[in-house]
Amino acid sequence: MRDIVVFSGSAHPRLAASISGALGVPLSEVEITRFSNDCLQARLLANCRQRDVYIVQPLVPPTQEHLMELLLMIDAAKGASAAQITAVIPHYAYARSDKKDASRISLGGRLVADLLATSGVSRVLTMALHAPQVHGFFSVPVDHLTAIGVLADHFRGRDLSDTVVVSPDLGNAKTATLFARLLGLPVAAGSKQRKADDKVVIDAIVGDVTGKRAIVLDDEIATGGSVVELMDRLKEFGCTEAAIACTHGLFAGPAVERLSTHPMIQEVVTTDTVPAPDWPQLQVRSVADLFAKAIARIHAGESVSSLFDGVDPTHAPPDARLPLG
């Protein structure tokens, strides 16, 4: 079997090191240099010839810089005769740009997918796309992981009586329902209208939250505006307190101050798909082992969806039970 080589861009080397450690392979070095005209150059400092190359790089701020690094590293691996190149993108930022909802608007999710394919990537490994249909923008295979099992583990073993899982919007309600099933809890959802990138209005709560504690599940938290708006509505509907759980904790701008000082919020838990901010009270669950297992299965030609048996039916359809005759 071909050797595995793992590289990391500058976006999140700690996660890359954890993934390579779980795989039992060293994290190979990369040299990123900047010319006087501000152009970047990537050089991979390990042999890639006829090897399976995995490049770990979430698209986090400065997003464009990290995207260009990733494209250059893929190009370098292609030029070095890698047998297969997998872009491990724990957070695919451009999944937010997934539809034409205004005149003459760009479709960044598809454009970045095309750039990755053109650069020479063989496969993409990502987690919790903001819009699942972005999966279809890629012309190469995509393995789409979920962190709801990891996040559910954080709450297991607690007294969850009088607790309800709440989705910030109806679009995320399906994932919230799957998460609620893992914990044996009911589910509710906010009715959200987005006015701008950092401004939302939640005008109603669908489901019973009166007198209950909430676990709010979201795929991504950027400025925290949606969560704060949701907290205000939950309080109006009689909810007593809330824990916040999300896969991608970007916590940009005023997010940390908003979430750490809100009287309704008792706890915030996220994963390490992106670097954590300086926030000692933040609970961070690692997804490194999950990515390592997925890489090992890809390398061995085994099923990745079987990682989610009993966790998320959308990622692991139930086995067929029809007689084979």
The residues carrying an active-site annotation are: 192
Asked whether 137 and 100 are in contact (CB, 8 A), the reply is no
- Rounded to whole angstroms, the Cα distance separating 301 from 278 reads 39
